[in-house]
Structure 1
Amino acid sequence: MATAKLFAATGDFKNDIQLPAMFDQEVNKVCMYLHIKAILNNNRQGTAQTKNKSAVSGGGQKPWKQKGTGRARSGQNTSAVWVRGAKAHGPKSHDYFEKVNKKVKKIAFRSALAAKAAEGKVQVFEALAFDAPKTKDLLAVLSKAGLEQRNALFLVSEADKNLYQSSNNIPWCRCARVADVNTYDIVRANNVVISQAALAELEGGR
């Protein structure tokens, strides 16, 4: 069974606990690759576009007659070979959307959690709640738990405003609800910090 360190709300280490079965499954790298690739492509705007001959202002009249001038023949000044002309074979705006089956998403998400657990990068806190938004207090807890400067992802069961505001000023720390995270969020985090309430929600729904 996969295990993780359990910390008190103050950051003091308590003991090692067993993680749910979803952290102990076989890591499927193919599903993880497909899901992460789809996530990154679906985040692309796809708005890059250049002007073709019909979109460039100008044209409509032949610059000079076909023969007798000594210059190369030309049909219109919107050609791609002209200065301020069109762009030949430039990018066109299009959608990069990729569909991933629900079963593949589920396998990828659980594989990412299992991979982090196998590396010993999953930590569990009894609670991750603060009475008031204080970045200094959160840094003190993380320092006591040995999680400073380690690109931590906090998973909470509900959107805790105080915890979110406390972590908002820390560049290497991010707070998110269990329902809002995906495979890419888990993979790019160096440490996954989960509250016990969020752990129960993970076990029951994801």
Structure 2
Amino acid sequence: MKVEVLDRQGKSTGRKVDLSDDIFGIEPNEHAIYLDVKQYLAHQRQGTHKAKERAEITGSTRKIKKQKGTGTARAGSIKSPVFRGGGRIFGPRPRQYDQKLNKNVKRLARKSALSLKSQDKAIYVVEDFDFDTPKTKDFKSFLQSLGLEDKKSLVVLGGLNKNVYLSARNLKRSQVVTNSQLNTYSILNANSIVLLESAVEGIESNLTK
């Protein structure tokens, strides 16, 4: 699949890059996408939630009232979950939410997500560029030249580029990652994917192993 290469100002360079049909043109597997996104979101959970249960509540152990003759239900402890301030029944405990997923399924999910974006014509290829210093204004100008200033965008770099990364860090609608950090959730969460030329080779190398 041939895609036109744009420059930093959003103008055509007169060149085209060939995107592999094995990655950007497959039949999307929705179940693989579901499993990968589910695992990603599960891994974002810290699992540090905790509520005190009956045995962890500080309080008197004396019997509150006599067993019979009060006309109400019997009660043996102020720490009972039925009383205000008592322990919580089956409260949350710290736990790990990690999920295992086969590498081939994760790879298929990323291919499927990229293919979906390709079908929607939401993938742009831009020649490699850099900023002299980190500047949000310069990155916003770059997005405006592509018509993406008001859309969620994912910019994929061929390698670590500190100036570009720092320039985009304050923008809520834009995310910058390297080709090795690319994941299914980020691809689907963005309206448009901007691939730098050097990232295309890295993506194809990572997803054809």
Structure 2 length as normaliser, TM-score?
0.90
Q: Aligned equivalents of 2:36 and 2:62: distance in 1?
A: 52
Name segments (4+ residues, structure 1) moved above 4 Å.
68-71
User: How much does 1:78 deviate?
Assistant: 0.5
Cα separation, partners in 2 of 1:167 and 1:114, compared to 1, 3 Å: same
Letter in 2 for 1:35: D
- Give 3-state SS (helix, strand or coil) of 1:54's partner: helix
Deviation readout 1:103-154 (Å, 9 max, x if unpaired): 1000001111111111100000111321222222222222222222111111
2-side partners of 1:121 and 1:180: how far apart?
19
RMSD between aligned alpha carbons?
1.8
CA gap 1:169/1:69 in 2 versus in 1, 3 angstroms: closer
What percentage of aligned pairs have identical amino acids?
A: 34
Q: Which residue of 2 aligns with 1:7?
A: 6
TM-score, normalising length from structure 1?
0.91
Measured after TM superposition, the shift of residue 13 of structure 1 is 2.7
Which structure 1 residue ranges, 5 or more long, are not aligned?
Answer: none
SS in 2 for 1:154: strand
What residue is the counterpart of 2:102 in the other structure?
101
Instruction: Tell which deviates more after alignment, 19-28 or 4-13.
Output: 4-13
Cα deviation, residue 56, structure 1: 0.8
| Per-residue deviation, residues 28-79 of structure 1 (Å, max 9, x unmatched) | 1110111111111121122222221101111422123323455542111101
- Matched residue type, 2:180: A
Q: Which runs of 5+ in 2 are unaligned?
A: none
| 2:19 counterpart residue number | 19
